[in-house]
Amino acid sequence: MNSVDTFEKRLREEIAAVEKEIQSHNQEVEALTKRLEGLKRADELFESDQAAIAELLQASIGNGSGITLRMATAPAPTTHRAAANPKPTGTLQKQLGRTTRIGRGNMKTRPVQAAARGASQQGGLTRVDMIATVLRRHPRRSVRELIALLDKEFRWKTNESAVTGKLYTRREKFVHTQPDRSTNRPVTWSLK
């Protein structure tokens, strides 16, 4: 073999190595793109309500390829990123690329609210479903006991007003006992 043949052989080996490296990088880009999509969805869900976070946890546990449970349960801010400035300026809204609603309670974006509402309408886990699940497992519980169980099982940190409102407005699902003031026994709730 002369030097030209040796050079041609080395050149072909180098081309094959570069093609193999490009293929490896393309696979890595695909994996990173999927991961980025998952992280963006997780970010959207953390900006919405607890039902959406429960959906995220179920999805990550269900297929095994999502965000790990340890990362998904890390403490997350409960308000929108723009909450540091309670009245976002027009330029801030333009930077975010979406309109925000400012009022009492959590600040949410309209698309996130629609996504959360759509998830619950498409068979996702709703707050009423969470309450029903807890009462199915633990019947005859007071509202405070129910809140503790909701926090323990679904990490839904709520208040008495929110839970009581859901219980009283869903009379077709939930039933309660009468309070006994003589023994200081509170109302207990169960599924119908």
Per-residue pLDDT tens listing for the chain (192 residues): 688 889 899 999 999 999 999 999 999 999 999 988 888 877 776 666 666 666 666 666 654 444 444 444 444 444 444 444 444 455 544 545 545 555 555 554 455 455 555 555 666 788 999 999 999 999 999 999 999 999 998 899 999 999 999 999 999 999 998 888 888 888 899 998
**Which pLDDT score is estimated for 19?**
94
Burial of 169 from C-beta contacts in 10 A (0-12 / 13-18 / 19+): exposed
Q: Which amino acid, one-letter code, is at 36?
A: L
Which residue range(s) make up the domain with 67?
3-121
Last residue within a domain, chosen from 121, 148, 171: 121
Boundary (domain end) residue, out of 97, 121, 145: 121
The total number of structural domains that make up the chain? 2
Q: 64 with 108, same domain? A: yes
Check residue 81 and give its pLDDT: 45
At 178 the pLDDT is 87
**pLDDT of 37:** 86
| Interatomic CA distance for residues 26 and 35, integer angstroms | 14
What pLDDT score does 20 carry? Answer: 93
Q: Residue 132: CB partners within 8 Å, gap ≥ 6? A: 173, 174, 191
Task: Please count the residues of the chain.
Answer: 192
The reply to whether 185 and 111 lie within a common domain is: no
* pLDDT attached to residue 29: 93
For residue 174, give the 3-state DSSP assignment: strand
How many Å separate Cα 22 from the centre of its chain?
35
Domain final position from 90, 121, 152: 121
